Amino acid sequence: MHAHDVTRSAHRYDAIVVGAGLAGVYAVYKLRQIGLSVRVLEAGGGVGGTWYHNRYPGARCDIESLDYSYSFSDELQQEWSWSERYASQPEILRYINHVVDRFDLRPHIQLNTTVVAASYDEEEHVWVFETSTGESYVANYAVMATGVLSVAQVPSMTGLEDYRGRWFHTGDWPEEGVDVAGRRVGVIGTGSSATQLIPLVAEEAGHLYVFQRTPNYTMPAQNHPMKPEVEKDWKANYPERRRFARASGFGHNQVTNHRSGKEVTEEERRAELENRWQLGGLYMMRAFKDILTDAEVNEEAAEFVRNKIRSIVKDPETAEALCPQNLYIGTKRLCSGTHYYETFNRENVSLVSLKDVAIECITASGVQLTDGREYELDVLIFATGFDAMTGAMNRINPRGRGGVTLKEAWAAGPHTYLGLCMADFPNMFVITGPGSPSVFSNMVTSIEQHVEWIADCIQYMRASGYAAVEATFVAQEQWTQHVSEAAGRTLYAKSRNTWFHGANIPGKPVTFMPYVGGVGNYYNKILEVAREGYKGFQFHKVRSVSKV
């Protein structure tokens, strides 16, 4: 069919939002507020994104829920009560559904609809979306809220198709749950998802085998029921807390120690590291201002955690196998769990270290290693992560100006201007895209910053009579260079074997994708760009181009 025939028969909106997670939900709220007609297209059978798909036992956030929540409505933040310090997946999912109903957004969200292609019509300045339902949609603005941890990665393993047990990925967990009671269960992976899941599966399984390729550092979450005085204090000070989060390094209120790990005595250092262990979760990474930039300071913290592991895990060989070596703490996303290391003291749990061996194949009855060992399993769980940051966008592979595809544009890794827009892809906005703080932040803070910036940009265009906005190539390349230089000043650049670099996906270009220059600095930058007439963008009138 000719492009014009498609646009004639398609459903028309001012904006199409792809994805109904925390980003898509706020986007539809905000864009409707500024008067746009909006349709949200969501692949899943419900709203919630991450919190809809990751229903594995133990799934919860690792940023305090009072922080990891929307700030855009004071009534909402005052009236909603979180039951725990770190909310569990079911509670976050309830919250997102509450927001959708409270603001009457459900009629604008279309579920079970995967966007399979998107192309830019240069004459009309519109995006044309094709979907799994066979219906097409046309919109002036494409708001990509497709998520950066939304494409589950099941590694290609010979024999999986012949496996007679049941297998699952944590990021695509069945709504009805998985019965592991009394069963022989295998978990592949020891990242954040695995460390949350393993202790709970261990309580029910007959025997649990944990297949560990690279140990990571897991902090105790120190989760607990919400303390009424904490909730009261937050609610009394919400405007200030939210302002602080937006201006902070990581988009939240976790207390940072601004001293260097080198300017304190040995005793003070130990006390601070112990304090951080007791605070739990990600607090460890705020122990010293140079923990992620100075290798020696980082190693002090790493060894502190290794000693904790040795003191918790009774079998010395297992303890040593669980201790990460040659891995700067925090450069692989720090894990936060409850009773993770204690779980390896259970009789029904075995750690299978893949340090000197690999998984050879999946057999009809379980997992076989390259040294001939075989494990019979009734249930196999892949906690093997995601095609992060670029996976969902590349799957759609939008076609921009002159037919250029995103995969072509990102062949050497994602290039964006501010993590928000790409040259050759006019009127397309990515929420928390590569090149923005994204996964290096409290993502709700980052989502709100992006959605508000996008809404302001669209309002500016409408007020100025512009039909299209597009990042300039020069601005995009300068920003991408800056993203890379910011990472180069940290230890992240030295640990390249992580999903932050795309290294977990065979064939993916290895390049550090998020922006580590700090949420506050980044926020100032995008506001400044807007204030200066959207510096680095060019705007198109209906038939002419004007450089700004």
Instruction: Report the nearest approach of ligand FAD to the CB of residue 23 (Å).
Output: 3
E strand or H helix at 53? helix 50-53
- Would you say 128 or 291 has its CB closer to ligand N01? 291
Task: Mark out the alpha helices in 107-265 (DSSP H runs).
Answer: 192-204, 228-236, 238-247
Q: Which residue in the set 15, 142, 439, 447 belongs to the binding site for ligand N01 (CB under 6 A)? A: 439
* Residue 324 found at the interface with ligand N01 (CB under 6 A): no
Name residue 219's beta-bridge partners.
336
Count the site residues for ligand FAD by CB under 6 A: 36
Burial class (CB in 10 A: 0-12, 13-18, 19+), 34: middle
- Would you say 52 or 534 has its CB closer to ligand FAD? 52
Among ligand FAD, ligand N01, none, what does residue 302 contact (CB within 5–8 Å per kind)?
none
Among ligand FAD, ligand N01, none, what does residue 19 contact (CB within 5–8 Å per kind)?
ligand FAD
Query: Among residue numbers 490 through 519, which ones bind ligand N01 (CB under 6 A)?
Result: 499, 504
Q: Which residue in the set 19, 261, 435, 437 belongs to the binding site for ligand FAD (CB under 6 A)? A: 19
Instruction: Report the nearest approach of ligand N01 to the CB of residue 156 (Å).
Output: 8
Residue by residue, what is the 3-state secondary structure of 401-465? Answer: HHHCEHHHHCCCCCCCECCCECCCCCCEEECCCECECHHHCCHHHHHHHHHHHHHHHHHHHHHHC
Among ligand N01, ligand FAD, none, what does residue 436 contact (CB within 5–8 Å per kind)?
none
By CB under 6 A, which span of 21-29, 239-247, 299-307, 464-472 interacts with ligand FAD? 21-29
Q: How many CB atoms lie within 10 A of CB 178?
A: 18
Phi and psi at residue 239, to the nearest 5°: -55, -45
Q: In whole angstroms, how far apart are CA 164 and each of 65, 90, 160, 183, 378? A: 40, 30, 9, 14, 8
The whole-angstrom separation of Cα 416 and Cα 419 is 5
By CB under 6 A, which span of 1-9, 140-148, 152-160, 180-188 interacts with ligand FAD? 140-148
Q: Which residue in the set 194, 205, 210, 302 belongs to the binding site for ligand N01 (CB under 6 A)? A: 194
Instruction: Report the nearest approach of ligand N01 to the CB of residue 358 (Å).
Output: 7
Cβ atoms of 12 and 139 within 8 Å: the answer is yes
The whole-angstrom separation of Cα 372 and Cα 48 is 43
By CB under 6 A, which span of 303-311, 371-379, 439-447, 448-456 interacts with ligand FAD? 439-447
- Would you say 382 or 417 has its CB closer to ligand N01? 382
Helix (H, G, I), strand (E, B) or coil at 159: coil
Name residue 168's beta-bridge partners.
381
By CB under 6 A, which span of 19-27, 189-197, 362-370, 452-460 interacts with ligand N01? 189-197
Query: Among residue numbers 126 through 185, which ones bind ligand N01 (CB under 6 A)?
Result: 149, 155, 170
Strands 359-362 and 366-369: antiparallel
* Residue 188 found at the interface with ligand N01 (CB under 6 A): yes
Cβ atoms of 71 and 242 within 8 Å: the answer is yes
Question: Which residues have CB under 8 Å from 1's CB, separation 6+?
Answer: none
Among ligand N01, ligand FAD, none, what does residue 178 contact (CB within 5–8 Å per kind)?
none
Helix (H, G, I), strand (E, B) or coil at 304: helix
* Residue 99 found at the interface with ligand FAD (CB under 6 A): no
Each residue 372-411 as x (binds ligand N01 by CB under 6 A) or -, in order, gives: -----------xxxx-------------------------
DSSP code of 152? B
Identify the residue whose tokens are 């807007």: 530
* Residue 220 found at the interface with ligand N01 (CB under 6 A): no
Burial annotation 424-458 (CB, 10 A radius, 16+ → b, else e): bbbbbbbbbbbbbbbbbbbbbbbbbbbbebbbbbb
Cβ atoms of 378 and 187 within 8 Å: the answer is no
- Would you say 64 or 470 has its CB closer to ligand N01? 64
By CB under 6 A, which span of 57-65, 294-302, 376-384, 482-490 interacts with ligand FAD? 57-65
- Read off the tokens for 454: 């996008």
The whole-angstrom separation of Cα 3 and Cα 222 is 56
Instruction: Report the nearest approach of ligand N01 to the CB of residue 199 (Å).
Output: 13
Cβ atoms of 343 and 218 within 8 Å: the answer is no
- Would you say 101 or 374 has its CB closer to ligand N01? 374
Helix and strand tally (H, E) in the chain?
A: 17, 20
* Residue 191 found at the interface with ligand N01 (CB under 6 A): yes
Among ligand FAD, ligand N01, none, what does residue 336 contact (CB within 5–8 Å per kind)?
ligand N01
* Residue 249 found at the interface with ligand N01 (CB under 6 A): no
* Residue 146 found at the interface with ligand FAD (CB under 6 A): yes
* Residue 43 found at the interface with ligand FAD (CB under 6 A): yes
Q: How many CB atoms lie within 10 A of CB 138?
A: 19
Among ligand N01, ligand FAD, none, what does residue 190 contact (CB within 5–8 Å per kind)?
ligand N01
Q: Which residue in the set 27, 31, 43, 61 belongs to the binding site for ligand N01 (CB under 6 A)? A: 61
Q: List, in sequence order, every beta strand (DSSP E) within 5-71.
A: 11-18, 38-41
* Residue 190 found at the interface with ligand N01 (CB under 6 A): yes
Instruction: Report the nearest approach of ligand N01 to the CB of residue 204 (Å).
Output: 20
By CB under 6 A, which span of 123-131, 193-201, 240-248, 511-519 interacts with ligand N01? 193-201
The whole-angstrom separation of Cα 19 and Cα 11 is 17
Instruction: Report the nearest approach of ligand FAD to the CB of residue 499 (Å).
Output: 11
* Residue 67 found at the interface with ligand N01 (CB under 6 A): no
Cβ atoms of 297 and 261 within 8 Å: the answer is yes
Residue numbers at the binding site for ligand N01 (CB under 6 A): 61-62, 149, 155, 170, 188-194, 196, 211, 213-214, 333, 336, 354, 359, 383-386, 439, 499, 504
Residue numbers at the binding site for ligand FAD (CB under 6 A): 18-24, 41-44, 49-50, 52, 54, 59, 61-63, 68, 114-115, 145-147, 149-150, 193, 392, 395-396, 431-432, 442-443, 447
